[in-house]
Amino acid sequence: MSVMPVTSHAPHLGGRSGSLPQYRAETLATHGVVAAPHALAAQAGLDLLKAGGNAVDAAIAANAMLQVVYPFLCGLGGDLFAIVWDAPTQTLIGLNASGRAPAAATIERYHALGYETMPRYGIHSVTAPGCVSGWGMLSERFGRLGLARALQPAIGYGRDGFPVGPGLHHALARMDQASFTHSSFRENYLPDGRILAVGSLATAPALADSLMRIASDGPSVFYRGELGRRIAAFFAREGGLITEDDLAAHLADWVAPITVPFGGLEVCELPPNTQGVTALQMLGIVDGLPLGDDPLSAQTTHLEVEAKKLAFADRAAHITDIERMRVRPEALIAADYLAERRALISPDHASATRATAGFTGDTIYLCAADGEGSAVSLIQSNYAGFGSGLVVDGTGISLQNRGAYFSLDPNAANALEPGKRTLHTLIPSMALRDGRPAVVFGAMGGDGQPQTHLQVYTNLLRYEMNIQAAIEAPRWVHGAEEPGQIETLRLERRFPAETVEALRAMGHQVELAAPLDSEMGHANGIVIDSEQGVLHGGSDPRAEGAAVGW
């Protein structure tokens, strides 16, 4: 066996695991890696790579498979965002495939319907679904095998059956008890009132048929064809506002990522309507702070949490549809502004809550990189679990409740308006070294997503952990169960006792969570060592996923 010469590069990536035990090894490969929150989805993506596809083909295949086997975190009725590095053209580009409020969705209309605040669930929490348009644009511009081929693994499992995992079982049990669960959901997911047992075989024939229709007729069938007409008819029957015209008007957009320097790399996120600016603010503020020697120290955690509070205050004040924003996103991540925000942090006292963040959020994040150098960071969601609690009859299409993020306060930055995109929690990420991908990363978790981005990037770049160790490391999340409640700092129980006590002494309202708590988000990532030609994959043990390589 011969050994390739080892070259060093700064900052170190794919390095040590730190002093913490590591539950899984990194996945190391050269031809490709796919990391996803369910093992069958990761394998579906890898199968596309082995069949001659590229990272985009793999990402779409994995996303479609997740809609079959992990439908409580994503679906055809939800939105999608992605960042793509296309090696053949040396192109870095973002995709915003989020939907807009219907043309009839005015604050006055919602007041007339009896709402003082946006409904969290139900037919009036739904915005136009963007996922299918995102698949189509990604496949057409960058894919190699075509959309129909990428959807085949999901269609096969939907028709032939798949084993039910614990996440799906528990999600169905919750929906069975939820007050907002609609009869259309029960007919699709709870036939005869049965909650599918872990390990039982289930099928998703209606969803498979919808995927097959998209594969044969193209994405336009979802917006201007048979599926679109069925969606609009469902809304008309249920008294909703989305019409055929709203679906036909939907467009996804190619966008330029925005960046800040952190730990020697350029971290890329998507511009608003995503909260990517929030993640970049947190990273930019922390990059100039004296963190402790240990990622789990009170000093490190305190400073990170304080940066979170400042960034979320700006999120509440400014972030919405970029076309309706009152400030430029770039102004919020300018070096002088970040320095001003950084100066507001006390090194040893917790500040008051500035804008409440929530704990809930159900999403899938996946990433793929191929041996030719292309990489995809993709995130997709129906928002709160199964979304609105509605499924379009006979289609398997679970409708998102992303509209719940709008405000009915006309003075709020994210006030509801016809045709407007709401503030979005979904944030794929990628970090570059010398203009080329070095890290492909993201996580599910609603308002927790930028908090996870901060912690994992810090673990990678400040504390030189490998990608698996950085994802597994104990995490915190800062938020509240409901808007207006006192925010608490939840720490996984693997944090040292002395850190917990020191944070309480600083004034943080600390609660302890399970050692590997799903509430902390499910992260996946790939570190790209371009000098060695090796891909390092990591997948979160908080989910049912895997990083698989070839």
Residues recognised as catalytic: 363
As a whole number of angstroms, the distance between CA 277 and CA 329 comes to 7
Q: Is the CB of residue 331 less than 8 Å from the CB of residue 340?
A: no
Q: Is the CB of residue 234 less than 8 Å from the CB of residue 73?
A: no
The CB density around residue 235, as the number of other CB atoms within 10 Å, is 21
Measured CA to CA in angstroms, residue 358 lies from 37, 56, 209, 338, 474 at distances of 22, 32, 36, 24, 19
Per-residue tokens: 236: 């008309």
As a whole number of angstroms, the distance between CA 238 and CA 125 comes to 13
Furthest CA-CA distance within the chain: 74
Strands in 234-316 per DSSP E:
253-255, 258-262, 265-269
CA 202-225-97 angle, to 5 degrees, is: 75
The CB density around residue 373, as the number of other CB atoms within 10 Å, is 18
List beta partners, residue 492: 513
Provide the 3-class DSSP secondary structure of residue 163: strand
Per-residue tokens: 61: 């295949």
As a whole number of angstroms, the distance between CA 370 and CA 550 comes to 9
Q: Is the CB of residue 337 less than 8 Å from the CB of residue 382?
A: no
As a whole number of angstroms, the distance between CA 289 and CA 307 comes to 10
As a whole number of angstroms, the distance between CA 22 and CA 12 comes to 18
As a whole number of angstroms, the distance between CA 492 and CA 474 comes to 6
* Closest C-alpha among 264, 271, 547 to residue 432: 264
Provide the 3-class DSSP secondary structure of residue 543: coil
- What is the residue type of 460? L
* Closest C-alpha among 466, 400, 316, 352 to residue 99: 400
Q: Is the CB of residue 521 less than 8 Å from the CB of residue 514?
A: no
Rg of the chain in Å (alpha carbons) = 22
Q: What is the DSSP string of 328-385?
A: -HHHHT-HHHHHHHHTT--SSSPPPPSS--BS--EEEEEEEEETTS-EEEEEEEEEST
Provide the 3-class DSSP secondary structure of residue 302: helix
Helix 298-318 and helix 276-286: axis angle, to 10°?
140
